[in-house]
Amino acid sequence: MTSFITKTSLKTWLGTLLKDNTLVAPAAAAGLTFFRPVEKIEDIAFDFTNTALSPKSWFFPQTETLSGEIAGNGHKTLNPEALEKNAVLFGIRPCDARGLAVTDKVFLITPGDTSYIERRQRTTLVGVACLEERAECFCTRMGSSPNSPADVDILLTEDGDGYLVQVMTKKGQTLSAGAGQQQSDKAVPPIVPTKPPARLPLKSAGPSPDMDYWDQSIADRCIHCNICAFVCPTCYCFDTFDIEKEGKVERLRSWYTCQSPNFERIEGYMADAPKGVRMRHRFYHKLPLFPEQLGSGYAACTGCGRCVVSCPVNIDIREIMDDVEKFRASVGEEKAPQA
């Protein structure tokens, strides 16, 4: 059963939500769009393709301070900062919502990351489906789709002067209770079919016969700018830094990336690894390793295309998948099924 909400009613609804919730929505700045807590409905950018950065940072901030105290016995306790209000994340695209499904796999595993759990549980996702696929988009290739409602609480699909509404979860139901949507006889557009799943590279670890490819075609070109990791909705690596001062403890947690040269030093296992190995690691981890390790059934790439657009030297994950495919064929492995 579907329902329909006009654009005006949507704004009114969002206005009411603003009273009791923190409303996180796309807003324009410096020619780009970013998710940030908005104060007025007018600040929301309804007409956007996708944000420059994924909404990941709402749940897993770029840096966060976990503060605590040193108890008498010298033990340290850390307490996450509780959210003041419940939150609504409006405008998340299906690909980014899939990104949250990825980070969930990491942060929700018992015992769970208290800070993430707090934010995740208290935030309702109101997604907006994409009507068009941009040149850099490839969600359909990664098992998602521009109008997949799978990973959100509510999905809105633009239709004329309003939106078709799909309420997917209980949380969504609760939130949309006062939304003022009408019953609609319009059918929800069918989910855009996914293409055959991306073939994953050869082997997840160890020396590989394709090293020349990584060294010369990819590693040579990569400048370690780290942008791919910072714009990625799924990258979840972080670094921590502790400060103790007069009986108080502060733990700073900040995003980090496997492409930073310092990462090798800290994480150890990749210390002094040649650049090609490090590059290969990034893609191996995203594609075969993540589903392998966490049994997710989907890769740690959602096809949002941000890294494709942002990479200053055009390291294009789709091209890499194709190249590896060709390489497999050339070494005699079976061809991938045609689309």
Partner 1 sequence: MDDKITLAVREKAKELLEQKVVDCFIGYEKATDNLTSRPLFVYKPEQAERLVFDNTCVHNLSKYLLNKKDTKTAVVAKPCDARAIVVLLNENQVQREKIYIIGIVCPGVVDSRWGSAGTEPEVRCQGCPQHTPPLYDFLIGEPTDEVEQDAYTDVTAMEEMGDADREAFWKEQFQRCIRCYACRNVCPGCYCPVCFVDLKEPLWAGIRVAPGENWMWNNIRAFHLLGRCIDCNGCQRVCPVNIPLMLLNRKLKKEVAQAFAFIPGMDPKALAPLATFKKEELAEPSK
- The residue ranges that bind partner 1 (CB under 8 A) are 29-32, 34, 52-53, 61-63, 65, 134-136, 216-217, 220-221, 223-227, 229-231, 239, 241, 252, 254-255, 257, 260, 262, 275, 308-314, 316, 318-319
Q: Which residue has the tokens 């030093």?
A: 265
Q: How far is residue 307's CA from residue 311's CA, in Å, rounded to a whole number?
A: 6
| DSSP 8-state class, residue 215 | I
Peptide bond into 274 cis (omega under 30): no
How far out from the chain centre does Cα 213 lie?
Answer: 28
Minimum CB separation from partner 1 for residue 186, in Å? 33
What are the distances in angstroms from CA 336 to CA 137, 214, 326, 328, 329? 21, 21, 9, 9, 8
Minimum CB separation from partner 1 for residue 145, in Å? 21
**Cβ proximity of 103 and 234 under 8 Å:** yes
Minimum CB separation from partner 1 for residue 309, in Å? 5
Nearer to partner 1, 195 or 275 (CB): 275
Nearer to partner 1, 52 or 191 (CB): 52
Nearer to partner 1, 152 or 229 (CB): 229
Q: Give the number of residues written for the chain.
A: 339
Task: Give the closest residue to 255 by CA, choosing from 57, 45, 52, 101.
Answer: 57
Nearer to partner 1, 9 or 65 (CB): 65
Nearer to partner 1, 171 or 306 (CB): 306
Nearer to partner 1, 125 or 229 (CB): 229
Nearer to partner 1, 33 or 157 (CB): 33
Q: Which residue has the tokens 């799943």?
A: 197
Minimum CB separation from partner 1 for residue 199, in Å? 18
Q: How far is residue 211's CA from residue 189's CA, in Å, rounded to a whole number?
A: 44
**Cβ proximity of 267 and 257 under 8 Å:** no
Minimum CB separation from partner 1 for residue 238, in Å? 10
Using CA of residue 89, residue 90, residue 96, residue 102, what is the dihedral sign?
positive
Minimum CB separation from partner 1 for residue 233, in Å? 13
Minimum CB separation from partner 1 for residue 252, in Å? 5
